[in-house]
Structure 1
């Protein structure tokens, strides 16, 4: 039994909340365990004036944490699963995926109660190509502008009048106690979430069996299964570049799941969407099949149009 563990975390309010949440779970489960946090600055935290899509997206918020894990200065890292690349560095693994909460996207506005209520030409802020494409598919009249920064920074920009509304992950707002700021949770028919949105991922060294055993109780099987399908989908369609992709897995019966996904053009004018059902045991296969189906039905052309190799 380990006497102490060190959790690596980014320094944002949300990242610290997530790391402290996992630390408290560990302390409760193992009262004699000493749990420490180490704050680490990632490239994504340093570059705040460039859209995520232009600097690489996935991996921007994880690489530095992963390097410290591999060097042994931290034992594990807590991430938002949606920030995790689908391929991990050699020697690292996802030890646990926590129960998902509030998987959807939230519209936040000080003056309007819903996406439908926004006036023509309303200014909406988001840092996500996925959100931008789906918002434009639903409301092509909106003016979508890039919005970077931590959750509190984004909210301040809204409060300062830079936007009529902004779109954020509902889970982050709820975890930080800002649930009352949510005007509307966007229906998945309007905006499918990102891969793994709403779940936390605990990453550690693949050969550290002691830590793997310590973390096993944090794993939520239904969330792991549905996000396995989601990550398999994304891994199949990624093509090494940024493209609007949404995917969401849900449990629909005993050991049965449904996965819905889309690939969209950057302007939202072309959206290829489909749904598949299958068993938990086929989660990986289900995600791959769905990806291949969408690519064959027009998704490949969308990805080629933005320079992706599929």
Structure 2
């Protein structure tokens, strides 16, 4: 009898041990299914490089998988994992940071779903740009107000305009003047492209001690089609081709890029967004700020 009880106890112990070992693998497998293969491969590679135990790797995968299953951008979260591990941050703290960032993306997703239930395929790009704007001081409430009533095709215009607004304010233009410029430019269809030259003008004018009210009026002339950015630059004695921030990413690297938080630069994100949107507007500014007719395929300056 005692021998049978010993065998039974051992059998139960083995079964419990098997379930204990199998459960984490099952959970991890479920999370892997939710994640793109490249994300899974990268996390497992990072776990190997940093010698993470199974439970810590599982926690990272669970957090990323939860975001993916909720339709949130995963790439910015993956970069957070990479940055944290590179700085020797504990996986527990990284998971906390992932939860915080996921919460922000969830807030933007709710705004987006509220104003555009049938969001286009580039949802991830829009959410990343919304997050970038929030790091630049554009509140979720302002984003929601601007996007309300907009078609998915015109969202690129709004995001372009708000990125420029953030850049103008960073270089001394008041919130009121920047707001006036943005609304006038949206009405004129001027933000089909991200107009980084407006930010370059504001920055150069500030460095030249030109009154900010004066440059704000001139920028308003540009977005309303009365002048071009080149003409304004000549009037102010500014060389846009040599102004700070000019380059492959233009002003975007300061106002919408990695310094702002996540993802591609504002200009790069705008290009990805606009290439997949066929927005139309009654009028828009060309590369030099003059008002023209017809669609623009991809943004430049």
Report the TM-score, using the length of structure 2 for normalisation.
0.26
- Which structure ranks higher in relative contact order (CA pairs < 8 Å, sequence separation ≥ 6)? 1
Higher share of residues assigned strand: 1
Higher share of residues assigned helix: 2
Larger Rg: 2
